[in-house]
Amino acid sequence: MARALLDGHGRTVRYLRLSVTDRCNLRCLYCRSNVMQRCIPHSQILRYEEITRMVGIAASLGVRKVRLTGGEPFARKGCDGFLVMLHERFPDLDVRITTNGTLLAPYIPLLRHVRVGAVNLSLDSFDRATFARVTGRDLLPQVLAALDALLAAGIRVKINVVAMRGVNDGQMDDFVHAARNMPLDLRFIEFMPMGSATPWSVENFWSTADIQAEAERRARLIPVTADAAESGPARMYRIAGGLGRLGFISPLTNHFCLSCNRLRLTSDGALRTCLFADKEYRLRGLLRQPRITDETIVRVIRRACADKPVGAELLRARRGAAVAVKQMVGIGG
């Protein structure tokens, strides 16, 4: 294997997030900012073979974990075949998926077959009206059915809740109930000011400290130590007497940049080294030129990593509300 992929701050990159599409069947208010954006033309979206080549290159540089995200990964035709292809070519790779769960149910046997490491389900409310308000669609029953089916299939589940004051801050009873009664991780993510038209504001920001205090009024939380590889940026807690765990991801109030080990590839083939940095390294053209070898692409990836910024500094330096111009739906979270 080639030498590991180090960035300019001594961090080792082992994790690649792949946005397989910029299309989504939901219109989450924190993600798309309710602004209608034109979808990227199909010809500019990486073909599955091209993404697979990128995964091979990344794996040769020491990447061990890959996450499919989007847009909504299951909104792209052939996502199931792509999962099979990844499994066959890279049987040791830890493949995970982030999904809104609305289209997921028919694919659950396949996820089990290809041994997906975990499914991250974006689920910001267990209340049907709030779910519809956040996502623009009344599809909570479908997501809850998929959640039950995932657990029945023995697939590891992490629920991601984007925490927003005035939206889901009155629903802590439901969140604690879910984590107490189901064998899953439920992680609150601080609302990030992403995308130029973001509705983020000081008023709708719900900080980890306040979320955790609210949770601790309902449950005794026992810190989980040294689980970094599995919990990523989340600080995890067991619930005394419960089946699941609660976690807190605090990109704004307690950033985790120093342990960041990830790279992102957008659906149109651009490498992003930091969620908060709009700088992109366009690889699609290179991937489509027959004379360009993997070695050339490796050189671009290494150069990009060497310039990887510290997101917290960008956050501090931001002017106006948003830290990055691109919306999350185009980055993949």
Structure tokens at 322: 């948003």
Q: Which of 7, 72, 214, 280 binds ligand SAM (CB under 6 A)?
A: 72
Question: According to CB under 6 A, which residues from 180 to 239 bind ligand SAM?
Answer: 189, 191-192, 194
**Least distance (Å) between residue 331 CB and ligand SAM:** 7
Q: Which residue bears the tokens 């954006």?
A: 37
Nearest to 96 by CA among 117, 78, 122, 74: 117
Query: For the purposes of burial, counting CB atoms within 10 Å of the CB of 285, is it exposed (0-12), middle (13-18) or buried (19 or more)?
Result: exposed
Binding segment for ligand SAM (CB under 6 A), chosen from 96-104, 213-221, 262-270, 278-286, is: 96-104
Q: Which residue bears the tokens 């657990």?
A: 151
* 69 sits near ligand SAM (criterion: CB under 6 A): yes
**Least distance (Å) between residue 116 CB and ligand SAM:** 14
What's the rounded Cα separation, in Å, for the pair 219 and 329? 34
| Number of residues in the chain | 333
User: Helices marked H in the chain — which ranges?
Assistant: 48-60, 79-89, 108-113, 128-135, 140-152, 172-181, 208-216, 228-231, 284-287, 294-306, 311-317
Q: Among residues 5 and 195, whose Cβ is nearest to ligand SAM?
A: 195
* 266 sits near ligand SAM (criterion: CB under 6 A): no
Contact 186, 175 (CB under 8 A): yes
Q: Which of 232, 242, 311, 332 binds ligand SAM (CB under 6 A)?
A: 332
* 99 sits near ligand SAM (criterion: CB under 6 A): yes
Q: Among residues 69 and 266, whose Cβ is nearest to ligand SAM?
A: 69
* 100 sits near ligand SAM (criterion: CB under 6 A): yes
CA distances from 163 to 30, 63, 243, 289 (A): 10, 30, 22, 43
Largest Cα separation within the chain, whole Å, is: 61
Q: Which of 57, 140, 315, 328 binds ligand SAM (CB under 6 A)?
A: 328
In DSSP terms, 157 is beta-bridged to 119
* 70 sits near ligand SAM (criterion: CB under 6 A): yes
In DSSP terms, 186 is beta-bridged to 159, 246
Binding segment for ligand SAM (CB under 6 A), chosen from 85-93, 264-272, 291-299, 324-332, is: 324-332
Q: Which of 5, 13, 18, 24 binds ligand SAM (CB under 6 A)?
A: 24
Nearest to 190 by CA among 145, 275, 241, 248: 248
Binding segment for ligand SAM (CB under 6 A), chosen from 64-72, 125-133, 178-186, 260-268, is: 64-72
Q: Which of 21, 52, 98, 273 binds ligand SAM (CB under 6 A)?
A: 98
**Least distance (Å) between residue 171 CB and ligand SAM:** 15
Contacting positions for ligand SAM (CB under 6 A):
24, 30-31, 69-70, 72, 98-100, 122, 160, 162, 189, 191-192, 194, 328-329, 332-333
